[in-house]
Amino acid sequence: YADSAMYLAKRSGRNNFRFYSKDLTASAEERMRLESELRRAIERGELELHYQPKVLLENGAMVGSEALLRWRHPEMGMIPPARFIPVAEDTGLIVELGRWVLREACQTATELNADSQSTHKVAINLSVKQFQSAGLVKSIAEILDETGCRAEWVEIEITESLLLDQKNETLQALCELRSMGFSIAIDDFGTGYSALNYLARFPIDTLKIDRSFINSTDRRNEELVKAILSIARCLGQSVVAEGVETAEQAAFLAANGCGSAQGFLYSKAVPKADIIALWLRSAASGAKPGEILSCG
């Protein structure tokens, strides 16, 4: 993030570079700057949605992808979501941003599933703030209409923090989306504060094991992964492992009954044109995406 930190330091008229390299949490001043630039980013077309393939662990076949937001700032370069999503959430801009993401991802899902024999499911991250805003379900229904996308082609990723939201509307929105045909996944599972009893009370289809459990040298994390797989099995939920980087990690997950995975072992998130090309090639050749991706 050195470039963007430097840029912000210069823009804010201070030469306080060390502050930024030490602490990446933006000050109020920088957040305001990011906010106004983020607002313009939508209009200026600086946002891109990339897609990370999701594969079945048993045979490496691609079954879907996750939509991940990218901000290509003209001077600061690529700004990672970890830096601007929190600003967007604090300012409420995430609602507009999230709507753009939903429309874009649904449009892509429509194109991916246009002539496809098997379903390509696109996973979309939704923030708590989007659920707290009025009219989420209605606006998603409109987006399905506009893009010709079917709910069955989309998985909605929420975080455990949403399940802590005691408001009735949140649960209601979640249930409505589920009955429309969307599947619901808990992202970064195991890193939040939610109690396990929420798992049975909410309509959850999928647990995504956080990559901190997968990419760990601590053997106890392997036991935790097995325990999460066992919980999911009992509750009839599917499991996606995040952040799979080595063949050893994939083998361990497959041996313990984990259904699917994402990670740099297979591919990073790629632009829309690339995910469509990869999907078409994997459907045509029956080849494993790992093979396709590594030659592609």
The closest alpha carbon to 86, from 99, 97, 101, belongs to: 97
Residue 170 interacting with Mg ion (CB under 5 A): no
Residue 64 interacting with ligand C2E (CB under 6 A): no
Based on CB atoms, which residue is closest to ligand C2E, 18 or 271?
Answer: 271
To the nearest whole angstrom, how small is the minimum distance from the Cβ of residue 269 to ligand C2E? 5
Four-point Cα dihedral 246, 247, 250, 255, nearest 10: -140
Q: Give the pair of three-digit tokens for residue 279.
A: 């999907």
Q: Please report, for residues 26, 145, 296, the alpha-carbon distance to residue 186 in angstroms, rounded to integers and kept in the order given.
A: 28, 26, 31
Pattern 92-131, ligand C2E, x by CB under 6 A: ------x--x-----------------------xxx----
CA 41 to chain centre: 20
The interface partner of residue 82, options being ligand C2E, Mg ion, none and the CB cut-off 5 to 8 Å by kind, is: ligand C2E
Residue 245 interacting with ligand C2E (CB under 6 A): yes
Residues 6+ apart with CB under 8 A from 191: 160, 210, 212
Based on CB atoms, which residue is closest to ligand C2E, 179 or 191?
Answer: 191
Over the range 42-56, which residues count as b (16 or more CB within 10 Å of their CB) and which as e? Answer: eeeebbebbbbbbbb
The interface partner of residue 68, options being ligand C2E, Mg ion, none and the CB cut-off 5 to 8 Å by kind, is: ligand C2E
Q: Which of 85, 140, 186, 207 binds ligand C2E (CB under 6 A)?
A: 85
User: DSSP labels for 173-216?
Assistant: HHHHHHHHT-EEEEEEETSS---THHHHHS---EEEE-HHHHS-
For residues 261 and 214, give the distance between their C-alpha atoms in angstroms, rounded to a whole number.
10
Q: Which of 37, 104, 155, 187 binds Mg ion (CB under 5 A)?
A: 187
Residue 82 interacting with ligand C2E (CB under 6 A): yes
> Quick one: which segment of 48-56, 72-80, 140-148, 155-163 binds Mg ion (CB under 5 A)?
155-163
Pattern 266-285, ligand C2E, x by CB under 6 A: ---x----------------
Q: Which residues bind ligand C2E (CB under 6 A)?
A: 52, 68-69, 80-82, 85, 98, 101, 125-127, 187-188, 211, 242-245, 262-264, 269
